[in-house]
């Protein structure tokens, strides 16, 4: 059962998917239509769950499930990944591959880097400590207050001299 994102409880479970590029307005509309339809029927073992989604910064997709009554099953989580894979294929982006890191510069521009090449990007000063990075520890809606955290407060801090 779909709810508006702001109606989801603070303890709703969150999954964050980073796009390999910014979405166009038309793509955001397509994503919103597909995800709303999906959330209207998202269920676990036949029981509808209160669910929602949001697109942030024209590049980050967040799915939310209120698990206070019934937890999301593995099959229900798999179904959410399938709809994201459909979106990927339809608009030609990388959403579900977790091998990437999104950083935001002081001008609020997002760059997506492969995780494997991240250390060299940092060492070559293509990324600085004043950038923000998506907090990989987010698991609830309440924690979205710290979706973007300074690199200096993240696991990437170890690559910068003190």
Percent of the chain with pLDDT over 70: 94
pLDDT (tens digit, 9 = 90+) per residue, 11-54?
999 999 999 899 999 999 999 999 999 999 887 777 778 999 99
Residue of 26, 31, 53 whose CA lies nearest to 40: 53
- pTM value? 0.89
pLDDT (tens digit, 9 = 90+) per residue, 59-91?
999 999 997 776 666 667 778 889 999 999 999
């Amino acid at each position: 059962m779909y709810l508006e994102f702001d109606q989801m409880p603070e303890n709703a479970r969150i999954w964050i998917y980073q796009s390999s590029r910014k979405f166009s307005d038309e793509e955001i509309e397509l994503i919103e239509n597909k995800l709303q339809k999906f959330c209207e029927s998202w269920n676990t073992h036949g029981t509808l769950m209160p669910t929602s989604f949001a697109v942030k910064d024209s590049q980050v997709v967040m799915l939310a499930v209120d698990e206070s009554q019934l937890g999301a099953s593995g099959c229900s989580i798999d179904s959410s990944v399938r709809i994201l894979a459909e979106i990927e294929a339809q608009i030609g982006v990388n959403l579900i591959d977790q091998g990437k890191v999104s950083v935001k510069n002081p001008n609020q521009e997002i760059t997506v880097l492969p995780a494997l090449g991240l250390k060299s990007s940092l060492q070559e000063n293509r990324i600085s400590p004043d950038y923000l990075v998506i907090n990989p520890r987010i698991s609830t809606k309440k924690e979205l207050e710290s979706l973007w955290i300074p690199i200096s407060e993240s696991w990437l801090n170890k690559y910068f001299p003190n």
